Each structure stands twice: as C-alpha cells, then as structure tokens.
Chain A
C-alpha cells in the first residue's frame, strides 16, 4: 500500500479508530496492530507476508539462541549463525540475479560454461529495511544492550506499518519500549503530524514527481541528446528529487506514527546544507548512517586499529552500503566514491588535528564555498546512483562540459523553481514553521479538516497525474 493513495487513506482511518479504541488493552491492541501491518504489507503481494513472518521467526530464534549462551565464544558463534540466518533471505531476494549474471558472464570470459538456474527473484518491498532492524535486534541482545522481547513485541517491532517499507530504520530500544506504554489519547500532536504528512506529500508529489518527469528521466535516459545546461540541471534536479522523494516518505511515516502516539527517529536534517561529506552523512538517511556505523564500521574496528585500517574499514562500509542500495555495479561505485570522500575528509581532519593543515577561516564566504563544494561532490556521486550503468553516468558527467551552445528546452522556469523550492527548504529557519504549526494546533477540528482538504487538493492538482512509487521502495 502506498502512502499517497486513497487505499491508504481509508486503511489509516480504520486503523486509527481501532488503535485508539484498543489502546487501553495491550492484549488486543498488539495483535490488532500486527494484523493491520500485515494487511498493509500484503496489499502489494499477499505472499510477502509469509516472508515477513519467517524473517521475524528467524530473528527471534536467533535472539533467544544468542541470549542463552553465556560462554563468549559460543555466544559469538550463535551471533554469527543468527545474523547469517537473518540476512540470508535478503541476500537471496536481492542479489540472486546479480550474482547469476556476473558469475555466468565471468565464466564465459574465461572459456568456461556455467549454467546457473535462471530464476527471476522478485525483491519484496521493504525487505532491506526490516532485515536491518532484525540484525540490530540480534546484535543488541548479543552486546547486552537490549533484552529479548516477547514474540508479539518482536513481530510488531518488525512489521509496524509506518516504518515497514522504507524506514526509518528504528532501533529496538526506540520502538519496543513504546509498545508497552499506554499512549495518551487526549493530546495528539495533530498539527505537527499533519505538517509532516502534508509537507511530505508536497515534497514527493509536487517536487520529486515533477522533476522526475520534466528533466531527470529524459536526461538520464539518453545523455547524448541533451545539452550541457540540461545535463547540469538534471543532475542537480536529481539531488533535489531523491531528497524530496525519500525525506517526503520519511516525513509521512513519522507523521503517521505521531498520529498513533509513537515517536520515530529523525532521518533527514537538511543534508544539502552540510559543509563536508562527513557532515552530509550525519544529515542524510541518518538511521541508515548510524546503522552502518554501529553494526558494520565499528565491528570492523572503526578507527581504533590504525590509519590504514580506518581507511579500509571506511571503504568496506561504504562499498557494502552502496551494494545494499542495489545489486548493480553503479551502486557499488557510488558507495566507493563516498568511501573515498570520507577517507579524504578523515585524512584532512587528522592533518588539522596534528597542526599540519591550517583550519579554514570561519567566514560566511568560506562556509558557503564548503557547502557548494560538498553539494557538488554529492551531486557527482548521485549521478552514479541514478544512472542505469556506470557508462551512462560517465557519459552524462562528460556531457556537462562537452555540449555547450546546444538548445536546452528542458531547462524551464518551472524546473528551476522546483529545484529552488527543494533547495530552499535546506536553509529556511525553523521558527516561522513552528509558529505556523502552533497556529494550526489552535484550529478546531472542522476548520483544520477543511485546511487539510484544501492543501491536499492543491498538492494532488499541482503534481503530475498518477502515483509514482517512492525511489527507496526498490532498496
């Protein structure tokens, strides 16, 4: 079920009613929310609910197995087996085709004949997200950071529909304790929730969908037919599109959870205002960044095992982060490029700390230049992310300098306006928005409902027709 659909609107009203009606009775409330979440997930394909249930089962068995071992070595073995079992469905569903094609073609190159079974494995939506949450749960139990939850809590933790298909990647200690606390039905932050939901819809439907059709898809589809200005604007437009698409989805998810009385972690914090790529990763898809740090980078040794090992760990983390986004080489190269950016940033930090490199002056001009440089580096990397191959990405990047003087019909005022709108949100102060939310919260239900309807009408009319899926659903 997609958030911006009438199906979801009807579903949510029913769930909202049941949720608050059963709020006082956890024995009924938890099964109700699990059932609702499985219906939400099964709306795409009812067979996927068995996968979600199976991953939940494997996760809980792994967690119990880890928890029961007291001897450290056996505990580590149980963890390794548990994580391997938890991640196995993800590896199969996500990488089977990639593996098959690359192994068969590599074998052919060396004159060998390999005939793997040519199965088309369809990637179930959300499997990457709930698998990461499952791994976090098992590892946290291994580390003693969290206790084994009840079966019902674990099933609800992994399936809770607001985060199910594209995050945020919520930690066990952020959600499971909330399942046992009776939520207060008297003081719902409806203004804050509506602000997030409508703002998220605006970003997704009006900005992201428009930019995708107006310039990003045509230019990335065939760079050779487009001018340098179109290539540059398309790359920047994609940076705005993916931000508005993914942060829009997350805002809706957080807003929906808020209406149910739940708090989710923040996932985006004005990423394009970052002064360095390191800062960008502290602001972009924050729940994935911290997952990669806590469950991959630090277990690899982080920065505690010497300079060379730090760079190797950074590269491994970012290459795997790239591969997590998609089973294709252009995602791996995207991750690798960010690994290089982070390694260079780390090297510079080290030089500055040792006094070998001067700190840059603290002026507005320098800050602006740092932001521009960071945004440019991120955009170059996004080109690899969006293009359907490394060759297409390189062709588009080359096009940014080789096709000046050619007409640029796709660089239009609405495109530039949509890009500007997406970028301006990175720099606006918080206070006016807070005032507006406070004013909205003072409206009575009917005027607030009318306001919601009018804004929804504006959003659905301003955006292109049809419902485009969220970019991050494919991951």
Chain B
C-alpha cells in the first residue's frame, strides 16, 4: 500500500492502445499462426509427456474421464514403446532428477523409511492384544502413518501431537491410494516393506476413501465388481490381510475409520467400509478401530463441519466436505493418541503436556 500520494489513479481516460501488440524490437504474429504455435506446443508436449499422463490417468477413479484419457493415451504410449521413444523420454526424465516409475502419491510428502535391525529373537504374530512399549529418549517409539490423503493430513499433525523426543513419526500417506487398486499403488507390498525395514511400534491406518471402485489385482484384473455381492467379503479380506501384515512383527494398529462426508449419497458405502474395519479389528489382536464417523457427526448423526469438545466450538472440516482442516486433523490425531492409550496403554507422556 502506498501512502506517499493522495492521487487516485482512476480517471475517465480511455486507453489509447487498448489492444496489446508487440513492443518495438519484437515481431507480432497473426492469430492463425499463433494457433499453430499453440497446437504444435500442446500436441508435442503431450507426446513427450504421454507416459506420465497415462500414469496420472490410471490413478483416476473409474469413470468416463479415465476411460477417455486411457483410450487416447494407451495407443500413443504403445507406439512410443515400440519405436523406443519411451526409453528416450524416461532417460530424459531421469536426467532431470525424477524416476519415471517412482511410487505414486509420493514425493516430499512421504518420509524415507528408517532401517531398524531385525530383533535377535524372531517376533511371533501376536495371539492376543499386547501393550505398546514405554519409550525413552534413547529408544523412541516408531509411529508410522499410512493411507491416503486423509492419512497425509493426520500424519502431518501427528508430528505436532507426539513429542519429538519420545516418538519418531514416519509419514507414509499417499494421495489417491487405497486397497482397491494395487495396480496403481500396492499397499500390501508397501506395508510388507515398512514392517520388514522399520518395524513400527504403532501403525496408524486411514485408508478407504478412494475404494469405491472395483477390486483389481496388481496386474489390473478385476476380482470383485463394485456393487456386487462379491465386493464386501473380498474387501474385508483385503483389510484383514493388510492389518495382519502390519501387526506381523508384534506392532500395533489403530485403524482410523472414515468420517461421514457432506455428500450423504456416499454414506451407505462408507458405513459398510467402517463395518469391515471394525470387524477386522474385533478379530485380530493388536488391531483397534477408532470410530471417526461417530466422533465428528452432528448430535443427530448427520454431517457436521464443527466439533464441540464441551467447551469450545471448532470448525474442523475442509471445504471439500471430505477432508479435515488443520484444527480438525489436530483434534483427530489427539483423540487417536488417547485411544491408543485406552487400547494398548500407549504412554500418555508421548503426547501430553
């Protein structure tokens, strides 16, 4: 804001040169040729970037947009593969610092996994609930947050809720992922890697928001069509397999349920998903289900963007009606930590005070 003048700049003056031709020293171009520049630029870029565009399209949920994108890009990439252009583009991409096949939803939002030596005595899969060890400054807890964009949110705020001296938070949330599409991102394989390499004491899972689509294999073959009777048991089986993996080395899992979204047309499906998470948590030792839906729903059971803790009212949901805002993630993460204390005796010193 300038304060050194009281002159307003508004006047009745009309621009002398309302158009915007080139300044002296620069040549202009007729509109028809400019269109050629635009088309050549966009088409050639699309060809150069086709492998990446195809990967982005594969990440989209089933639907017309994805179908059309892949129908256009599949033959382009096929031709580029045959003539060796893909390899050339991938080499150029690598030279610019990006791995062409790097895991999706990653980048800077995903922490590197720490390597923890294997224990001297193999840990057996727990037969009943155990407690989380008491951390020390010398041996802090490893808390890993896995899942989709909601997990990215709670991961970021887990760092703020847990004390850095007692808890190492490792964020593994990847946007647009779920259990339905291992062809896009294979969460069971990633969980295996996490457990083998980092042996988390506590894994916080928030997955499922992107799973309203048919279940496929890592090779992309459909095994259970959405909306059919095959879907619920197949989905619950995937949840069970994932939770079993996460606890296979003696770790604990808090499965954070999905909140109700603003769009009530999605409620039935999400309630069934939460039912599957709850059922698996009831069956497996060291796995507990946190009921996000009930925690944040309105007193009448509907969607509410606000949360009242008895003293303060807080706006907790993001504008999209699906995710939380910063205050919401902080409240959710704090409640999850308290829940871990209730269920697995997580030392409250790790987050209180």
Contacts and interface: CB of A to CB of B under 8 A. Distances in A.
Contact of A190 (B4, B28, B96): B28
A462 B25 contact: no
A223 to B, nearest CB: 9
A442 B27 contact: yes
Q: Which of B8, B20, B312 has most A Cβ within 10 Å?
A: B20
A177 B305 contact: no
Contact of B28 (A186, A225, A321): A186
Given A221-B160, A278-B2, A445-B36, A189 B315 contact: no
Contact of B29 (A122, A217, A445): A445
Nearest to A261: B19
Interface in B4-42: 4, 6, 8-15, 17-23, 25-31, 33-42
A177 B16 CA distance: 10
B37 A452 contact: yes
Contact of B48 (A174, A298, A310, A453): A453
Interface string B319-331: 1010000110000
B315 A101 contact: yes
B21 A453 contact: no
Q: What does DSSP make chain A's interface, helix, strand, loop or mixed?
A: helix
A456 B45 contact: yes
B27 A441 contact: yes
B319 A178 contact: no
A461 B34 contact: no
A450 B36 CA distance: 11
B23 A293 contact: no
Contact of A458 (B17, B41, B43, B96): B96
A278 B20 contact: no
B119 interface: no
Interface string B285-313: 00000000000001000001110000111
B29 A188 contact: yes
A263 B18 contact: yes
A449 B175 CA distance: 34
Contact of A317 (B1, B15, B31, B157): B1
Given A145-B10, A460-B52, A263 B306 contact: no
A190 B31 CA distance: 9
Contacts of B56: 465
Nearest to A187: B28
Nearest to B157: A221
A369 interface: no
B240 interface: no
B115 interface: no
Contacts of A186: 28, 30-31
B22 A187 contact: yes
A16 B34 contact: yes
Given A101-B315, A145-B11, A456-B45, A188 B107 contact: no
27 contacts: A10-B42, A16-B38, A17-B35, A97-B315, A101-B315, A105-B313, A120-B319, A147-B12, A171-B9, A178-B18, A183-B18, A189-B26, A191-B27, A221-B157, A222-B159, A225-B164, A262-B20, A290-B2, A303-B3, A303-B6, A438-B27, A445-B34, A449-B39, A449-B44, A457-B92, A465-B56, A465-B104
Closest 8 A/B residue pairs (Cβ): A449-B40, A187-B28, A213-B108, A120-B305, A452-B41, A453-B44, A189-B22, A178-B18
Interface of A: 6, 9-10, 12-13, 16-17, 20, 97, 100-101, 104-105, 108, 118-120, 122-123, 136, 140, 143-147, 171, 173-174, 177-178, 181, 183-192, 194, 213-214, 217-218, 221-222, 224-225, 257-259, 261-263, 278, 281-282, 289-290, 292-294, 297-298, 302-304, 310, 314, 317-318, 321, 342, 345-346, 349, 388-389, 434, 437-438, 441-442, 445-446, 448-450, 452-454, 456-458, 460-462, 464-466
Interface of B: 1-4, 6, 8-15, 17-23, 25-31, 33-46, 48-49, 52-53, 56, 92-93, 96-98, 104, 106-109, 156-157, 159-160, 164, 175, 262, 298, 304-306, 311-315, 317, 319, 321, 326-327
Given A118-B306, A118-B313, A441-B26, 16 more contacts: A101-B306, A104-B313, A140-B10, A177-B18, A178-B19, A186-B28, A187-B21, A189-B21, A289-B2, A292-B1, A303-B6, A438-B27, A445-B34, A449-B36, A449-B41, A452-B37
